[in-house]
A and B are shown apart, each in its own frame.
Chain A
Amino acid sequence: MTGVDPVRHVLFRAGGERFALPLDSVREVVIPQSPFARVPRAGAAVRGAMNLRGRVVAVVDLAALVGVGSETLQAGRGQVVILDRDRRSLGLLVAQVFGVGPLRPDREEPPGSMVRGIGQIDGGAITLLDPDAVAAHSAAQFGQG
C-alpha cells in the first residue's frame, strides 16, 4: 500500500478487462458516431475518425492499443472516452464505462508504460492507465510510413 490519497477515476471495461483513467484527464464519454472515416496509413489499433459535434476526433481501440484483444465497432455498441485539454481530438474506444470511483494503485509500474499500476475495486483487479503514456502510444499509431 502506498501512502497517496485515492484519486477519482473513470472506470471502464475493454477487451474483457477493467481499466481506469483519472477523472481529470477525461473530458466526456460519448457513443461512437458513425460513419467513421478511415485514417490513411494508420496502425492496427486505429478505428478511424468520427464527427463529434462538428469536431473531428481520432478514435483508437484501447484494448488493441494495450494488447488485450480488440472491440468490434458496431452500431449501438461500445463507448468513446474523449480525453481532455490538449488531447480533445483523441478518443478511446472501450466496451463500456461502468462508473467513477476513488482508486489508489496497489502496485506501481515504471513511468513511460501505459499502465500506472493495479488497483482493487469490489475485490477484483483494475488496471490504472497513465493518460500521458496512452496519448503518446496512440500518437505513435498515426503517420506511419
Chain B
Amino acid sequence: MVSQDLQRYLGLFVSESTDKLQKLGQGLVRLEAAGRGEEPLAPIVDEMFRHAHSVKGMSASMELEGIKEIAHRAEGLLDHFRKTGDALDPASVDLLLAAVDAMTGMVERSGAGENPAAPAELLSRLDAGVARIHGGAAPAPPRPETPAPHRPTPAAEQVPLGLRRRYTIEVEVAGTCPVPAVRGFLVLKKLSALGAVLEATPAAEDLRAGRIPDRRVKALLESGEPPAAVEKALSQISDIATVQVKEEVHHPTPPPAVAATAQPREPEVGGRTVRVRVELLDSFLDAVGELILATARIREVGKSIPEAVRPALDEGVDRLQSAVKDLHDKVMTARMTPLALLTDRLPRVARDLARRVGKQVEVEVEGAEIEIDRAILDELADPLTHLVRNAVDHGLEPSHLRELSGKPATGRLSVSARRERDRVILDVVDDGRGMDPEALRQAAVARGAISAAAAAALSDRDALQLACLPGVSTADRVTDISGRGVGMDAVKRVVEAVGGALELVSVRGHGTRVSLRLPLTVAVQPVLLVRVGEEVLGLPIAKVHGAAQADTGALERSRGEPMLPYDGGLVPVRELSALLGLPRDAGSGPRQVVVADGDGARVGLAVDALLGQEEAVLKPLGRPLDLVSGLSAVTVLGNGRPVFILDVPRLGP
C-alpha cells in the first residue's frame, strides 16, 4: 500500500511514468530503424536512458521499490550502450522490452493502491544481462548527469533585465482531477522554474492546504522565456483543462541601451496555442450540432408564416446558417488530430506479435502527420490494430518459408496514409503469402453465407471481399490473436460507420493490401429515409441499389420468402417491421421495397413508405444503444427526431 502522504500524488505518478515507459518502448522500436542506418543511434539511447532514469527517480520518491529496482537495472543496461556507443544487441533489446512491460503493469497496479514487488526472475535476468555486456561484474549504474526536471533557478540570474517579459497566466484544472490543489501547486512550481512569480491567486500556501476556489490559478510571471516556452512548460502538467498565457504589453522596465547587444527575439512562428480538454472540444461540436438543428427548425417554422413577412425571416435565417456553418468549420478544424496518435504504437504491436509467433517483421509508417477528425481517429484504433495483427499472424510467412520462395527473411509491413481531395487513404500492406480466393469461396459457402452457385459466379477480386463477411476466415487455426473470423467484418463495419469504405487487394504469394478510404471529418452522408408504422429509419445510400413497388402477397415464394424480380435476378423480400420488431401500417396493399446490399447478397426490405433522401450527420451509438444488432449509427433530423441508421447485413434473416 502506498503511504497516505504519497497517495495524493499517485495519479500524477501513474500518468507521468506511463508516459515515460511508453516513450522508452517507442525508443526500442526506433532502435531498429537506427540499425538500418535511417536514424542516428546515440540520441535515441540517450533519450531512453533519461526516461529510465526519470522512472527510477519517480518510483523512488513514491516509495515503490519494485518498480525502482527494475528501472535501476534498465538504466544501468542503457548506460553501458550510451557510453560505448555500441548498437544494442537483440538480447538486450528483449530484456529492456520485458522490463518496460513489467514496469507498465506494475505502474498500473500501483495506481490501484498496490506496491507490487519486482519479479525475481526478471531482476536476475537483468543482472545477468548487465554482467554479460560488462564482461563480468555488474557495476552499479553511475550517477547520471541528467538535467533535473525542476531546477529552481531564479530567472534574475539568467536573463538580462532588458529581455524580461511579464505574463498573466490563468490555468483551469480539469473537473475530473481528484486533487485540483496539487495540480495548482505544480503550476506555480513550474512557473517559478521559468522566472519570478510576482503574484498568485490562490497563494502557494493556500494551494498546499488544498484550497483552490473554482479550480483556477491566476499568476503574474516575470520571465525571460518566450510565450511558447511558458505554454509548453504548463502543457506538461496533466489534468489541466485550459491554459491562458497573455503577455503584458507594457514592459515595466523600459529596455535600456544594452538591448541592442542582446540577442534578437525569436520570431514567433504561427499563433499562440492553448491546451483544451478533448471533452470540451466534443461539447463544442455538440453545441454546434444543436445550432444547426435549431436553424433548420426555424426555417421549417418559417414556411408556415405569411408570404409578406417571409423574405425578412429567410434572409435572417440565411445569415444565421452561414455563420453557424462557419463556426462548424472552425470547430472541425480544431478537432483535427494527426494519425501519429494511432500509428506510433503499431510498430511495437507488430514486433511483439512477430516475436510471439516466431516471425520477423519490419514496419514502415508513412504519412503519420496527416490529420483527421478525432472522432474518426478514436473509432479506428481497434480496426487498425486488428489489420496489423492479421498481417503479421496470417499474412507474413515464417522466415524459412519466405527464403524458400525467394523473399527476404524479414517480412515487410507498411502502414501509409495520404490525402486525396477530401479523403484520407490509409493502406496496410504486407508482402506475405496473400489470400486465396478459392479458399474464401469455400469458407463462405461452408458458413452458409452464400450459395455455391453465387460463390462460383464471383470474380477473384470479388471473392476476396468475402473475407469481410461475418464468420468467414481462411485461417487454418484459430489463435488468440486473430483468425476467429470476427475480424475483417468488424473492421469493415467500423470503417463504414464513419463514412468510409474498405477494399481488399491480394495477390497469392506476393501479399495483401487493405485500403481504408476515410472521410476527413465526421461524415455527412446521404441516407434514404423510410417509414415503418410511426418510426423513421435510415439506410446509407451507398448500400441501396434501388426501390420498387410490389404486392408481396402475390410474389412467387422460395423457402417461404416472397421473391422480387429485380435487375434480371430474384431478391428475397423481408418485412423491415418484422426484422426490427416494430408495428407496421395495417392493410395489405402493395408495399414499397428497398433493394439493398445484405449479407453478401441483395435483399429487399418492405416498408410502409419512402420518405426521401437526406444529408445526415452520423453519430456512433453510445452504450447501451450499441448493443442493438442491426443498427450502425444514429442521426437527428431537422425536427429533432432521432433516426437509427440500419446495418443491413446484421438485420438478421
Residues in chain A within 8 A of chain B (CB atoms): 33, 35-42, 49-51, 53-58, 86-90, 135, 138-139, 141-143, 145
| B644, A40: Cβ atoms closer than 8 Å | yes
- Contacts A135-B624, A142-B627, A143-B628 aside, 10 further interface pairs with beta carbons under 8 A come to A37-B643, A40-B579, A41-B628, A55-B286, A56-B625, A56-B636, A89-B624, A139-B627, A142-B624, A145-B581
Evaluate whether A143 and B629 lie within 8 angstroms (CB atoms) in the complex, with A90-B623, A90-B624 already known: yes
- The answer to whether A51 touches B642 (Cβ under 8 A) is yes
Is the beta-carbon distance between A51 and B625 smaller than 8 angstroms? Answer: no
Q: How far is the CA of A8 from the CA of B542 in the complex (A)?
A: 50
- 4 closest A-B pairs (Cβ-Cβ)? A89-B622, A54-B289, A143-B627, A40-B580
Is residue B582 contacting chain A, with contact meaning CB distance below 8 A?
yes
Instruction: Report yes or no: A58 in contact with B624, Cβ–Cβ below 8 A.
Output: yes
B581 touches A40 (CB 8 A): yes
Q: Are A89 and B581 in contact (CB under 8 A)?
A: no
Give complex CA distance A44, B206 in Å: 53
Which residues of B have CB within 8 Å of A54? Answer: 286-287, 289-290, 293, 619, 636
Chain A to chain B contacts (Cβ below 8 Å), 28 pairs: A35-B640, A36-B642, A37-B535, A37-B644, A38-B534, A39-B628, A40-B580, A40-B628, A40-B631, A41-B581, A41-B628, A51-B293, A51-B641, A51-B642, A53-B287, A54-B286, A54-B289, A54-B290, A55-B286, A56-B636, A58-B622, A58-B625, A87-B623, A88-B622, A89-B622, A89-B624, A139-B623, A143-B628
CA A42 – CA B581 in complex, angstroms? 9
Residues of B within 8 A of A (CB): 286-287, 289-290, 293, 534-536, 579-582, 619, 621-625, 627-631, 634, 636, 639-644
B631 to chain A, nearest CB (A): 7
Q: How far is the CA of A35 from the CA of B639 in the complex (A)?
A: 9
B22 to chain A, nearest CB (A): 23
B636 lies within 8 A of A42 (CB):
no
- Shortest Cβ distance from residue A81 to the other chain B in the assembled complex, whole angstroms: 15
Q: Which residue of the partner chain A has the closest CB to B576?
A: A40
A86 proximity list for chain B (CB < 8 A): 623
Provide the bound-state CA to CA distance between A55 and B431, in Å: 43
Contact of B580 among A41, A56, A58, A141 (CB under 8 A): A41
A-B contact count (CB 8 A): 91
A50 touching B642, Cβ below 8 Å: yes
A47 to B: closest C-beta gap in Å: 13
> In the assembled complex, which residues on chain A have CB atoms less than 8 Å from the CB atom of B641?
35, 37, 51
Closest Cβ of chain B to A96, distance in Å, is: 24
Pick from A36, A56, A143: contact of B622, CB below 8 A: A56
CA–CA, A58 to B634, complex, Å? 12
Nearest-neighbour CB distance to chain A for B627, whole angstroms, equals 4
Q: Are A40 and B623 in contact (CB under 8 A)?
A: no
Bound CA span A83–B57, Å: 40
Closest to A50 in B: B642
CB-CB < 8 A to B619: which residues of A? 54-56
Given A51-B640, A51-B641, decide whether A38 and B287 contact each other with a Cβ distance below 8 A. no
Q: Once the chains are docked, how many angstroms separate the CA of A18 from the CA of B490?
A: 43
User: Judging by beta carbons under 8 Å apart, are B580 and A142 in contact?
Assistant: no
A41 — which chain B residues lie within 8 A by C-beta? 580-581, 628, 630
Residues of chain B contacted by A56 (CB below 8 angstroms): 619, 621-622, 625, 634, 636, 642
Contacts of A33 in B (CB 8 A): 640
A100 to chain B, nearest CB (A): 18
Contact B640 A141 (CB under 8 A): no
A89 in contact with B640 (CB, 8 Å)? no
Contacts of A58 in B (CB 8 A): 622, 624-625
Residues of A within 8 A of B631 (CB): 40
What residues of chain A lie closer than 8 Å to B287, measured between beta carbons? 53-54
Nearest Cβ on chain A to B630's Cβ, whole angstroms: 6
B624 touches A139 (CB 8 A): yes
- Who on chain A is nearest to B536 by CB? A37
Q: Which residue of A lies closest to B285 (CB)?
A: A54
Q: A49-B642, A53-B287, A141-B624 are in contact. Are A38 and B293 (CB under 8 A)?
A: no
List residues of chain A with CB within 8 A of the CB of B639. 35
* Residue of B286, B621, B622, B640 with highest tally of chain A CB at under 10 A: B622
Closest CB in chain A relative to B584 CB, distance in Å: 12
- Inter-chain CA distance A54–B626, complex, in Å, is 17
Contacts of A145 in B (CB 8 A): 581
A38/B623 in contact, CB under 8 A: no
Which residues of chain A are within 8 angstroms of B581 by Cβ–Cβ distance? 40-41, 145
Residue among B625, B628, B640, B644 having the largest count of chain A Cβ atoms under 10 Å: B625
CA separation between A57 and B582, bound complex, in Å?
19
Measured CA separation A28–B619 after assembly (Å): 21
Most B Cβ at <10 Å: residue of A49, A87, A139:
A49
Q: How many angstroms between the C-alpha atoms of A142 and B627 in the bound complex? A: 6
**Contact indicator A49/B634 (Cβ below 8 Å):** yes
